[in-house]
Structure 1
Amino acid sequence: MSLIQATHIDVRHGATHAVQGVNVTLEAGEIVTIVGPNGSGKSTLLRALIGAVPVDGGTIKAAEGLRVGYVPQKLHIDPTLPLTVRRFLNLPKRVPTAKAREALARTGVDHLEKRQLAGLSGGQLQRVLLARAILNRPQVLVLDEPTQGLDQPASAAFYRLIEALRDELGCAVLMVSHELHVVMSATDRVICMNGHICCEGTPEVVTAAPAYRELFGTGTGGALALYRHEHNHDHHEHGCDHDPASVLSAEDPVS
Protein backbone atom coordinates (compact mmCIF):
# COMPACT_ATOMS: atom_id res chain seq x y z
CA MET A 1 0.00 0.00 0.00
CA SER A 2 1.14 3.55 -0.76
CA LEU A 3 2.03 5.76 2.19
CA ILE A 4 -0.30 8.51 1.00
CA GLN A 5 -2.79 8.77 -1.79
CA ALA A 6 -4.53 12.06 -2.54
CA THR A 7 -7.27 12.44 -5.14
CA HIS A 8 -8.66 15.64 -6.70
CA ILE A 9 -7.54 17.90 -3.86
CA ASP A 10 -8.92 21.45 -3.99
CA VAL A 11 -7.91 24.30 -1.70
CA ARG A 12 -9.48 27.74 -2.02
CA HIS A 13 -8.53 31.13 -0.62
CA GLY A 14 -11.88 32.83 -0.73
CA ALA A 15 -13.09 32.62 -4.31
CA THR A 16 -9.60 31.83 -5.61
CA HIS A 17 -8.44 28.29 -6.26
CA ALA A 18 -4.97 27.97 -4.75
CA VAL A 19 -4.77 24.24 -5.51
CA GLN A 20 -7.09 22.56 -7.97
CA GLY A 21 -7.56 18.94 -8.95
CA VAL A 22 -4.33 17.68 -7.39
CA ASN A 23 -3.67 13.93 -7.21
CA VAL A 24 -0.58 12.06 -6.11
CA THR A 25 0.62 8.81 -4.65
CA LEU A 26 3.65 8.78 -2.36
CA GLU A 27 5.63 5.57 -2.08
CA ALA A 28 8.07 4.54 0.63
CA GLY A 29 11.64 5.67 0.11
CA GLU A 30 11.15 8.19 -2.69
CA ILE A 31 12.15 11.85 -2.66
CA VAL A 32 9.51 14.04 -4.30
CA THR A 33 10.03 17.77 -4.80
CA ILE A 34 7.31 20.28 -5.66
CA VAL A 35 8.47 23.26 -7.70
CA GLY A 36 6.61 26.20 -9.18
CA PRO A 37 6.55 29.99 -9.34
CA ASN A 38 5.53 32.19 -6.43
CA GLY A 39 1.82 31.88 -5.77
CA SER A 40 1.55 28.50 -7.47
CA GLY A 41 0.12 26.74 -4.40
CA LYS A 42 3.20 24.77 -3.33
CA SER A 43 3.22 25.71 0.35
CA THR A 44 -0.57 25.81 0.53
CA LEU A 45 -0.61 22.21 -0.59
CA LEU A 46 1.90 21.16 2.05
CA ARG A 47 0.00 22.98 4.79
CA ALA A 48 -3.19 21.30 3.66
CA LEU A 49 -1.50 17.92 3.79
CA ILE A 50 -0.48 18.34 7.43
CA GLY A 51 -3.89 19.65 8.44
CA ALA A 52 -2.96 23.33 8.85
CA VAL A 53 -5.21 24.34 5.95
CA PRO A 54 -8.57 22.67 5.28
CA VAL A 55 -9.22 21.18 1.87
CA ASP A 56 -12.35 22.18 -0.01
CA GLY A 57 -12.61 19.03 -2.07
CA GLY A 58 -11.06 15.67 -2.76
CA THR A 59 -9.91 12.81 -0.56
CA ILE A 60 -6.67 11.95 1.21
CA LYS A 61 -5.83 8.45 2.38
CA ALA A 62 -2.78 7.71 4.51
CA ALA A 63 -1.36 4.41 5.68
CA GLU A 64 -2.66 3.48 9.12
CA GLY A 65 -0.56 4.98 11.89
CA LEU A 66 1.58 6.93 9.43
CA ARG A 67 4.33 8.92 11.16
CA VAL A 68 5.05 12.33 9.63
CA GLY A 69 7.90 14.72 10.43
CA TYR A 70 7.60 18.36 9.38
CA VAL A 71 10.22 21.06 8.84
CA PRO A 72 8.59 24.50 8.40
CA GLN A 73 9.79 27.20 6.05
CA LYS A 74 10.48 29.58 8.91
CA LEU A 75 10.37 29.61 12.70
CA HIS A 76 9.91 33.00 14.33
CA ILE A 77 11.73 33.10 17.66
CA ASP A 78 11.54 35.88 20.23
CA PRO A 79 15.22 36.77 20.81
CA THR A 80 14.44 37.44 24.48
CA LEU A 81 12.99 33.95 25.00
CA PRO A 82 15.41 31.75 27.00
CA LEU A 83 15.05 28.50 25.06
CA THR A 84 17.92 26.12 24.49
CA VAL A 85 18.07 23.61 21.66
CA ARG A 86 17.56 20.78 24.12
CA ARG A 87 14.49 22.40 25.68
CA PHE A 88 13.10 23.09 22.22
CA LEU A 89 13.21 19.39 21.40
CA ASN A 90 11.02 18.78 24.47
CA LEU A 91 8.16 20.69 22.85
CA PRO A 92 5.34 19.73 22.91
CA LYS A 93 6.33 16.79 25.12
CA ARG A 94 9.49 15.69 26.88
CA VAL A 95 11.92 13.60 24.84
CA PRO A 96 14.42 11.21 26.47
CA THR A 97 17.92 12.69 26.47
CA ALA A 98 19.43 9.81 24.52
CA LYS A 99 16.78 10.13 21.82
CA ALA A 100 17.26 13.89 21.53
CA ARG A 101 21.04 13.58 21.30
CA GLU A 102 20.76 10.87 18.67
CA ALA A 103 18.56 13.10 16.50
CA LEU A 104 20.91 16.08 16.90
CA ALA A 105 23.88 13.88 16.05
CA ARG A 106 22.14 12.58 12.91
CA THR A 107 21.73 16.14 11.66
CA GLY A 108 25.24 17.19 12.67
CA VAL A 109 24.35 19.65 15.45
CA ASP A 110 24.79 17.65 18.65
CA HIS A 111 27.36 20.26 19.77
CA LEU A 112 24.56 22.86 19.86
CA GLU A 113 22.48 21.10 22.51
CA LYS A 114 22.98 23.81 25.15
CA ARG A 115 22.94 26.80 22.79
CA GLN A 116 20.11 29.32 22.80
CA LEU A 117 17.76 28.75 19.88
CA ALA A 118 17.58 32.47 19.10
CA GLY A 119 21.38 32.62 18.70
CA LEU A 120 21.65 29.98 15.97
CA SER A 121 22.54 30.73 12.38
CA GLY A 122 20.01 29.95 9.67
CA GLY A 123 21.74 26.73 8.71
CA GLN A 124 22.07 25.59 12.32
CA LEU A 125 18.40 26.30 13.02
CA GLN A 126 17.28 24.30 9.99
CA ARG A 127 19.30 21.30 11.16
CA VAL A 128 17.78 21.59 14.64
CA LEU A 129 14.30 21.72 13.09
CA LEU A 130 15.20 18.66 11.05
CA ALA A 131 16.38 16.88 14.20
CA ARG A 132 13.02 17.60 15.83
CA ALA A 133 11.23 16.27 12.75
CA ILE A 134 13.02 12.91 12.86
CA LEU A 135 12.63 12.27 16.60
CA ASN A 136 9.88 9.73 15.99
CA ARG A 137 11.52 8.11 12.95
CA PRO A 138 8.95 9.41 10.46
CA GLN A 139 7.79 7.42 7.49
CA VAL A 140 7.24 10.68 5.62
CA LEU A 141 9.46 13.73 6.04
CA VAL A 142 7.81 16.96 4.84
CA LEU A 143 9.91 20.10 4.27
CA ASP A 144 8.67 23.52 3.14
CA GLU A 145 11.54 25.35 1.40
CA PRO A 146 13.98 24.16 4.08
CA THR A 147 17.03 25.96 2.68
CA GLN A 148 15.51 29.39 2.14
CA GLY A 149 18.10 32.00 3.05
CA LEU A 150 21.06 29.59 2.95
CA ASP A 151 23.91 29.98 0.48
CA GLN A 152 24.46 27.38 -2.24
CA PRO A 153 27.09 25.26 -0.44
CA ALA A 154 24.93 25.13 2.70
CA SER A 155 21.87 24.26 0.60
CA ALA A 156 23.70 21.44 -1.18
CA ALA A 157 24.94 20.05 2.14
CA PHE A 158 21.41 20.14 3.57
CA TYR A 159 20.00 18.26 0.58
CA ARG A 160 22.75 15.65 0.90
CA LEU A 161 21.72 15.25 4.54
CA ILE A 162 18.08 14.77 3.53
CA GLU A 163 19.11 12.08 1.07
CA ALA A 164 21.22 10.33 3.73
CA LEU A 165 18.33 10.40 6.21
CA ARG A 166 16.03 8.95 3.57
CA ASP A 167 18.45 6.08 3.11
CA GLU A 168 18.93 5.58 6.86
CA LEU A 169 15.31 5.85 7.96
CA GLY A 170 13.74 4.40 4.84
CA CYS A 171 11.29 7.29 4.82
CA ALA A 172 9.72 9.09 1.91
CA VAL A 173 10.57 12.78 1.51
CA LEU A 174 8.15 15.40 0.21
CA MET A 175 9.47 18.92 -0.07
CA VAL A 176 8.87 22.29 -1.65
CA SER A 177 11.88 24.09 -3.03
CA HIS A 178 12.70 27.09 -5.21
CA GLU A 179 16.33 26.10 -5.79
CA LEU A 180 15.99 24.37 -9.11
CA HIS A 181 19.71 23.99 -9.73
CA VAL A 182 20.10 21.88 -6.57
CA VAL A 183 16.71 20.19 -6.48
CA MET A 184 17.11 18.66 -9.91
CA SER A 185 20.05 16.67 -8.59
CA ALA A 186 18.55 15.88 -5.18
CA THR A 187 15.23 14.29 -6.01
CA ASP A 188 13.74 11.21 -7.60
CA ARG A 189 10.54 12.78 -8.86
CA VAL A 190 9.58 16.39 -9.56
CA ILE A 191 6.05 17.80 -9.50
CA CYS A 192 5.78 21.13 -11.29
CA MET A 193 2.81 23.14 -10.05
CA ASN A 194 1.02 26.28 -11.10
CA GLY A 195 -2.23 25.88 -9.18
CA HIS A 196 -2.48 22.40 -10.69
CA ILE A 197 0.15 19.92 -11.82
CA CYS A 198 1.72 21.10 -15.05
CA CYS A 199 4.09 18.16 -15.43
CA GLU A 200 5.58 15.38 -13.35
CA GLY A 201 8.37 12.83 -13.62
CA THR A 202 12.10 12.40 -13.17
CA PRO A 203 14.17 15.61 -13.27
CA GLU A 204 15.26 14.76 -16.81
CA VAL A 205 11.67 14.39 -17.98
CA VAL A 206 10.39 17.52 -16.25
CA THR A 207 13.19 19.85 -17.37
CA ALA A 208 12.51 18.83 -20.97
CA ALA A 209 8.76 19.43 -20.67
CA PRO A 210 7.30 22.46 -22.47
CA ALA A 211 5.26 23.50 -19.41
CA TYR A 212 8.36 23.54 -17.21
CA ARG A 213 10.33 25.55 -19.76
CA GLU A 214 7.47 28.00 -20.09
CA LEU A 215 7.50 28.61 -16.32
CA PHE A 216 11.24 28.58 -15.67
CA GLY A 217 13.04 29.01 -18.98
CA THR A 218 15.77 26.68 -20.23
CA GLY A 219 18.69 27.61 -18.00
CA THR A 220 17.79 25.70 -14.83
CA GLY A 221 17.83 22.12 -16.01
CA GLY A 222 20.39 20.91 -13.51
CA ALA A 223 23.54 22.22 -15.17
CA LEU A 224 24.34 24.23 -12.04
CA ALA A 225 23.81 21.32 -9.67
CA LEU A 226 26.36 21.24 -6.88
CA TYR A 227 26.42 17.46 -6.66
CA ARG A 228 25.05 14.57 -8.63
CA HIS A 229 22.25 12.42 -7.27
CA GLU A 230 21.90 8.94 -8.73
CA HIS A 231 18.27 8.14 -9.45
CA ASN A 232 17.80 4.70 -7.97
CA HIS A 233 14.03 4.56 -8.18
CA ASP A 234 12.08 3.62 -11.27
CA HIS A 235 9.08 5.92 -10.98
CA HIS A 236 6.26 6.39 -13.42
CA GLU A 237 6.73 9.53 -15.50
CA HIS A 238 4.13 11.87 -16.88
CA GLY A 239 4.08 14.39 -19.65
CA CYS A 240 2.51 17.81 -19.31
CA ASP A 241 -0.82 17.20 -20.97
CA HIS A 242 -2.33 14.95 -18.30
CA ASP A 243 -5.08 16.01 -15.93
CA PRO A 244 -3.97 18.00 -12.87
CA ALA A 245 -2.63 15.53 -10.32
CA SER A 246 -0.56 15.60 -7.09
CA VAL A 247 0.25 15.18 -3.42
CA LEU A 248 -0.33 14.11 0.17
CA SER A 249 -1.47 14.23 3.78
CA ALA A 250 -1.39 12.79 7.27
CA GLU A 251 -1.33 13.92 10.85
CA ASP A 252 1.43 16.27 11.91
CA PRO A 253 2.98 14.75 15.04
CA VAL A 254 5.04 17.82 15.89
CA SER A 255 2.42 20.55 15.70
Structure 2
Amino acid sequence: MPLLRGRGLIVAPTLVHAHDLTVEYGGTTILDRVSLSVTRGEIVTIVGPNGSGKSTLIRAILGGVTPGRGWVEKPRGLKIGYVPQRLVLDPTLPMTVERFLSLPRRVSKARAQDALERAGVPGIGKRQMSVLSGGQFQRALLARALLETPDLLILDEATAGLDQPGSAAFYRRIEEVRAETGCGVLMISHDLHVVMSASDRVVCLNGHVCCEGTPDVVAAAPDYRRLFGEGTKGALALYRHTHDHSHGHDHGHAHHEPADRDAAE
Protein backbone atom coordinates (compact mmCIF):
# COMPACT_ATOMS: atom_id res chain seq x y z
CA MET A 1 0.00 0.00 0.00
CA PRO A 2 2.33 2.78 -1.27
CA LEU A 3 2.13 6.44 -0.41
CA LEU A 4 0.24 8.53 -2.95
CA ARG A 5 1.88 11.54 -4.53
CA GLY A 6 0.01 14.63 -5.62
CA ARG A 7 1.35 18.02 -6.69
CA GLY A 8 4.73 17.22 -5.16
CA LEU A 9 3.26 16.20 -1.79
CA ILE A 10 3.32 12.70 -0.33
CA VAL A 11 -0.15 11.83 0.92
CA ALA A 12 -0.64 8.80 3.17
CA PRO A 13 -3.46 6.55 1.95
CA THR A 14 -6.58 6.08 4.04
CA LEU A 15 -6.64 2.64 5.66
CA VAL A 16 -10.19 2.75 6.97
CA HIS A 17 -13.02 5.24 6.75
CA ALA A 18 -16.22 4.94 8.76
CA HIS A 19 -18.95 7.21 7.42
CA ASP A 20 -22.01 8.28 9.43
CA LEU A 21 -22.25 5.05 11.42
CA THR A 22 -25.45 4.66 13.40
CA VAL A 23 -25.93 1.63 15.65
CA GLU A 24 -29.01 0.95 17.79
CA TYR A 25 -29.68 -1.78 20.34
CA GLY A 26 -33.20 -2.35 21.63
CA GLY A 27 -34.32 1.11 20.61
CA THR A 28 -31.31 2.80 22.22
CA THR A 29 -28.91 4.65 19.94
CA ILE A 30 -25.33 3.63 20.75
CA LEU A 31 -23.63 5.45 17.87
CA ASP A 32 -25.20 8.44 16.15
CA ARG A 33 -23.75 9.36 12.74
CA VAL A 34 -20.14 8.71 13.72
CA SER A 35 -17.44 9.27 11.09
CA LEU A 36 -13.77 8.39 11.55
CA SER A 37 -10.74 7.69 9.37
CA VAL A 38 -7.19 6.44 9.87
CA THR A 39 -4.33 6.92 7.41
CA ARG A 40 -1.09 4.97 7.11
CA GLY A 41 1.47 5.92 9.75
CA GLU A 42 -1.10 7.73 11.94
CA ILE A 43 -2.00 6.97 15.56
CA VAL A 44 -5.66 7.77 16.23
CA THR A 45 -7.08 7.30 19.72
CA ILE A 46 -10.74 7.14 20.71
CA VAL A 47 -11.54 8.39 24.20
CA GLY A 48 -14.86 8.69 25.97
CA PRO A 49 -16.74 7.77 29.15
CA ASN A 50 -18.06 4.28 29.86
CA GLY A 51 -21.00 3.47 27.62
CA SER A 52 -20.00 6.02 24.99
CA GLY A 53 -19.91 3.46 22.17
CA LYS A 54 -16.12 3.09 21.81
CA SER A 55 -16.02 -0.71 21.62
CA THR A 56 -19.15 -0.77 19.43
CA LEU A 57 -17.38 1.52 16.98
CA ILE A 58 -14.36 -0.79 16.88
CA ARG A 59 -16.59 -3.84 16.35
CA ALA A 60 -18.38 -2.05 13.51
CA ILE A 61 -15.05 -1.25 11.86
CA LEU A 62 -13.94 -4.88 12.25
CA GLY A 63 -17.22 -6.13 10.80
CA GLY A 64 -18.60 -7.65 14.00
CA VAL A 65 -21.48 -5.17 14.19
CA THR A 66 -23.73 -4.21 11.29
CA PRO A 67 -24.67 -0.52 11.48
CA GLY A 68 -28.28 0.47 10.89
CA ARG A 69 -27.03 3.35 8.77
CA GLY A 70 -23.68 4.36 7.35
CA TRP A 71 -20.82 2.24 6.07
CA VAL A 72 -17.15 1.34 6.51
CA GLU A 73 -14.67 1.56 3.64
CA LYS A 74 -11.44 -0.45 3.64
CA PRO A 75 -9.07 -1.02 0.72
CA ARG A 76 -8.99 -4.51 -0.76
CA GLY A 77 -6.35 -6.68 0.90
CA LEU A 78 -6.04 -4.53 4.02
CA LYS A 79 -4.29 -6.50 6.78
CA ILE A 80 -5.59 -5.75 10.29
CA GLY A 81 -3.98 -6.77 13.56
CA TYR A 82 -6.25 -6.71 16.61
CA VAL A 83 -5.35 -6.60 20.31
CA PRO A 84 -8.42 -7.17 22.52
CA GLN A 85 -9.04 -5.65 25.92
CA ARG A 86 -8.69 -9.04 27.56
CA LEU A 87 -8.39 -12.70 26.67
CA VAL A 88 -9.23 -15.38 29.21
CA LEU A 89 -7.23 -18.60 28.99
CA ASP A 90 -7.64 -21.66 31.19
CA PRO A 91 -4.72 -21.34 33.65
CA THR A 92 -4.44 -25.12 33.86
CA LEU A 93 -3.90 -25.44 30.12
CA PRO A 94 -0.20 -25.98 29.35
CA MET A 95 0.63 -23.58 26.53
CA THR A 96 3.85 -21.76 25.79
CA VAL A 97 3.86 -18.32 24.21
CA GLU A 98 5.27 -19.80 20.98
CA ARG A 99 2.43 -22.31 20.87
CA PHE A 100 -0.10 -19.52 21.53
CA LEU A 101 1.28 -17.59 18.56
CA SER A 102 0.77 -20.69 16.38
CA LEU A 103 -2.98 -20.82 16.96
CA PRO A 104 -4.97 -21.41 14.84
CA ARG A 105 -2.27 -21.61 12.13
CA ARG A 106 1.22 -22.81 12.84
CA VAL A 107 3.96 -20.21 12.45
CA SER A 108 7.68 -20.83 12.30
CA LYS A 109 9.86 -20.19 15.33
CA ALA A 110 11.61 -17.46 13.35
CA ARG A 111 8.33 -15.62 12.69
CA ALA A 112 7.21 -16.04 16.30
CA GLN A 113 10.53 -14.69 17.55
CA ASP A 114 10.35 -11.74 15.17
CA ALA A 115 6.85 -10.88 16.40
CA LEU A 116 7.95 -11.11 20.05
CA GLU A 117 10.90 -8.84 19.33
CA ARG A 118 8.59 -6.30 17.68
CA ALA A 119 6.35 -6.49 20.75
CA GLY A 120 9.35 -5.84 22.99
CA VAL A 121 9.47 -9.22 24.76
CA PRO A 122 11.97 -11.37 22.86
CA GLY A 123 12.72 -13.67 25.79
CA ILE A 124 9.28 -15.07 26.67
CA GLY A 125 8.69 -17.55 23.84
CA LYS A 126 9.30 -20.66 25.98
CA ARG A 127 7.33 -19.42 28.99
CA GLN A 128 3.88 -20.69 29.87
CA MET A 129 1.08 -18.22 29.14
CA SER A 130 -0.29 -18.87 32.64
CA VAL A 131 2.81 -17.47 34.39
CA LEU A 132 3.16 -14.23 32.41
CA SER A 133 2.73 -10.91 34.17
CA GLY A 134 -0.06 -8.62 33.01
CA GLY A 135 2.30 -6.59 30.86
CA GLN A 136 3.91 -9.66 29.32
CA PHE A 137 0.50 -11.17 28.54
CA GLN A 138 -0.56 -8.02 26.68
CA ARG A 139 2.75 -8.00 24.80
CA ALA A 140 2.06 -11.61 23.76
CA LEU A 141 -1.32 -10.48 22.39
CA LEU A 142 0.45 -7.63 20.60
CA ALA A 143 2.96 -10.08 19.12
CA ARG A 144 0.10 -12.21 17.83
CA ALA A 145 -1.44 -9.14 16.18
CA LEU A 146 1.91 -8.27 14.56
CA LEU A 147 2.54 -11.71 13.06
CA GLU A 148 1.19 -10.72 9.64
CA THR A 149 2.79 -7.24 9.66
CA PRO A 150 -0.60 -5.49 9.57
CA ASP A 151 -1.36 -2.30 7.68
CA LEU A 152 -3.70 -1.29 10.51
CA LEU A 153 -3.28 -2.16 14.19
CA ILE A 154 -6.44 -1.91 16.30
CA LEU A 155 -6.30 -1.99 20.10
CA ASP A 156 -9.37 -2.07 22.34
CA GLU A 157 -8.21 -0.79 25.76
CA ALA A 158 -5.21 -3.09 25.55
CA THR A 159 -3.69 -1.73 28.76
CA ALA A 160 -6.73 -2.35 30.97
CA GLY A 161 -5.46 -3.72 34.28
CA LEU A 162 -1.88 -2.48 33.86
CA ASP A 163 -0.40 0.11 36.20
CA GLN A 164 0.68 3.53 34.92
CA PRO A 165 4.32 2.60 34.18
CA GLY A 166 3.19 -0.57 32.41
CA SER A 167 0.66 1.37 30.33
CA ALA A 168 3.21 4.03 29.41
CA ALA A 169 5.73 1.37 28.37
CA PHE A 170 3.11 -0.40 26.25
CA TYR A 171 2.19 2.80 24.43
CA ARG A 172 5.86 3.60 23.83
CA ARG A 173 6.17 0.22 22.16
CA ILE A 174 3.14 1.00 19.96
CA GLU A 175 4.84 4.23 18.85
CA GLU A 176 7.97 2.22 18.03
CA VAL A 177 5.98 -0.35 16.05
CA ARG A 178 4.40 2.46 14.06
CA ALA A 179 7.83 3.94 13.36
CA GLU A 180 9.30 0.56 12.38
CA THR A 181 6.45 -0.69 10.16
CA GLY A 182 4.62 2.44 9.01
CA CYS A 183 1.29 0.92 10.03
CA GLY A 184 -1.69 2.97 11.07
CA VAL A 185 -2.93 2.57 14.65
CA LEU A 186 -6.48 2.93 15.94
CA MET A 187 -6.89 2.45 19.67
CA ILE A 188 -9.34 2.91 22.49
CA SER A 189 -7.82 4.00 25.76
CA HIS A 190 -8.81 5.16 29.22
CA ASP A 191 -5.22 6.18 30.06
CA LEU A 192 -5.71 9.86 29.36
CA HIS A 193 -2.45 10.83 31.05
CA VAL A 194 -0.50 8.86 28.45
CA VAL A 195 -2.72 8.54 25.42
CA MET A 196 -3.12 12.25 24.81
CA SER A 197 0.61 12.38 24.22
CA ALA A 198 1.01 9.14 22.29
CA SER A 199 -1.52 10.09 19.62
CA ASP A 200 -1.41 12.12 16.43
CA ARG A 201 -5.16 12.62 16.56
CA VAL A 202 -7.75 12.12 19.29
CA VAL A 203 -11.47 11.48 18.78
CA CYS A 204 -13.68 12.19 21.79
CA LEU A 205 -16.78 10.01 21.60
CA ASN A 206 -19.98 10.08 23.62
CA GLY A 207 -22.45 8.34 21.34
CA HIS A 208 -21.46 10.92 18.74
CA VAL A 209 -18.17 12.63 17.95
CA CYS A 210 -17.93 15.44 20.51
CA CYS A 211 -14.61 16.79 19.27
CA GLU A 212 -11.66 15.65 17.18
CA GLY A 213 -8.18 16.89 16.42
CA THR A 214 -4.63 16.99 17.72
CA PRO A 215 -4.16 16.35 21.45
CA ASP A 216 -3.69 20.09 22.08
CA VAL A 217 -6.91 20.98 20.31
CA VAL A 218 -8.98 18.24 21.98
CA ALA A 219 -7.57 18.92 25.46
CA ALA A 220 -8.74 22.53 25.16
CA ALA A 221 -12.18 21.68 23.72
CA PRO A 222 -15.15 22.50 26.01
CA ASP A 223 -16.83 19.12 25.31
CA TYR A 224 -13.67 17.25 26.31
CA ARG A 225 -13.31 19.25 29.51
CA ARG A 226 -16.95 18.68 30.41
CA LEU A 227 -16.44 14.92 30.08
CA PHE A 228 -13.02 14.58 31.71
CA GLY A 229 -12.43 17.75 33.72
CA GLU A 230 -9.45 20.06 33.66
CA GLY A 231 -6.83 17.69 35.05
CA THR A 232 -5.90 15.95 31.80
CA LYS A 233 -4.46 19.07 30.23
CA GLY A 234 -1.98 19.27 33.07
CA ALA A 235 -0.99 15.65 32.47
CA LEU A 236 -0.41 16.50 28.82
CA ALA A 237 1.86 19.37 29.82
CA LEU A 238 3.76 17.08 32.21
CA TYR A 239 4.46 14.58 29.45
CA ARG A 240 5.71 17.28 27.11
CA HIS A 241 7.90 18.78 29.81
CA THR A 242 9.49 15.37 30.19
CA HIS A 243 10.06 14.70 26.50
CA ASP A 244 10.31 17.98 24.59
CA HIS A 245 13.47 19.54 25.96
CA SER A 246 17.10 18.58 25.87
CA HIS A 247 18.28 16.15 28.51
CA GLY A 248 21.86 17.27 28.11
CA HIS A 249 21.63 19.78 30.97
CA ASP A 250 20.95 19.44 34.66
CA HIS A 251 17.67 21.24 35.31
CA GLY A 252 17.74 20.49 39.02
CA HIS A 253 14.73 18.20 38.92
CA ALA A 254 14.01 14.55 38.30
CA HIS A 255 12.37 13.03 35.24
CA HIS A 256 10.17 10.08 36.09
CA GLU A 257 10.27 7.97 32.95
CA PRO A 258 8.01 4.93 33.33
CA ALA A 259 10.21 1.85 33.26
CA ASP A 260 9.26 -1.08 31.07
CA ARG A 261 9.49 -3.27 34.13
CA ASP A 262 6.36 -5.32 33.55
CA ALA A 263 7.49 -6.47 30.13
CA ALA A 264 10.98 -7.27 31.31
CA GLU A 265 10.01 -9.49 34.22
- TM-score, structure 2 length as denominator? 0.83
1:223 maps to a residue whose letter is A
- TM-aligned CA distance change 1:228 to 1:52, over 3 Å: farther
Task: Say whether 1:130 aligns with 2:130.
Answer: no
In 1: Cα distance, 2:201 partner to 2:185 partner: 10
Task: Say whether 1:115 aligns with 2:127.
Answer: yes
Contact 1:10–1:21 under 8 Å retained in 2: yes
In 1: Cα distance, 2:99 partner to 2:143 partner: 13
Q: SS of the residue aligned with 1:143? A: strand
Residue of structure 2 in register with 1:216 after alignment:
228
**Structure 1 unpaired stretches of 5+:** 231-255
In 1: Cα distance, 2:238 partner to 2:207 partner: 27
In 2: Cα distance, 1:135 partner to 1:117 partner: 17
Q: How many angstroms does 1:141 deviate by?
A: 0.3
Larger Rg: 2
Deviation per CA, 1:134-184: give whole Å up to 9, x if none.
111101000011111111111111111000000111000000001111011
2:202 to 190, 195, 210: 190
Q: SS of the residue aligned with 2:167? A: helix
1:69 to 81, 90, 100: 81
Contact 2:18–2:61 under 8 Å retained in 1: no
Q: SS of the residue aligned with 1:29? A: coil
In 2: Cα distance, 1:213 partner to 1:228 partner: 24
In 2: Cα distance, 1:116 partner to 1:52 partner: 30
Q: SS of the residue aligned with 2:76? A: coil
1:154 maps to a residue whose letter is G
Contact 1:186–1:228 under 8 Å retained in 2: no
Residue of structure 1 in register with 2:9 after alignment:
none
In 2: Cα distance, 1:21 partner to 1:229 partner: 37
Task: Say whether 1:51 aligns with 2:59.
Answer: no
Residue of structure 2 in register with 1:200 after alignment:
212
- With CA pairs under 8 Å and 6+ residues apart, which has the higher RCO, 1 or 2? 1
Residue of structure 2 in register with 1:246 after alignment:
none
Residue of structure 1 in register with 2:29 after alignment:
17
Higher share in helix:
2
Residue correspondence of structure 1 range 75-94 to structure 2 within 5 A:
75-94=87-106
Residue of structure 2 in register with 1:145 after alignment:
157
Q: How many residues align?
A: 230
Contact 1:103–1:135 under 8 Å retained in 2: yes
CA-based RMSD of the aligned residues comes to 1.5
Give the 4+ runs in structure 1 shifted more than 6 A: none
Q: SS of the residue aligned with 2:123? A: helix
Contact 1:186–1:229 under 8 Å retained in 2: no
Q: How many angstroms does 1:17 deviate by?
A: 1.2
1:180 to 192, 199, 216: 192
In 1: Cα distance, 2:25 partner to 2:244 partner: 37
2:179 to 167, 186, 189: 167
Greater displacement, 5-14 / 187-196 = 5-14
Determine what percentage of the aligned residue pairs are the same residue: 59
Q: SS of the residue aligned with 2:198? A: coil
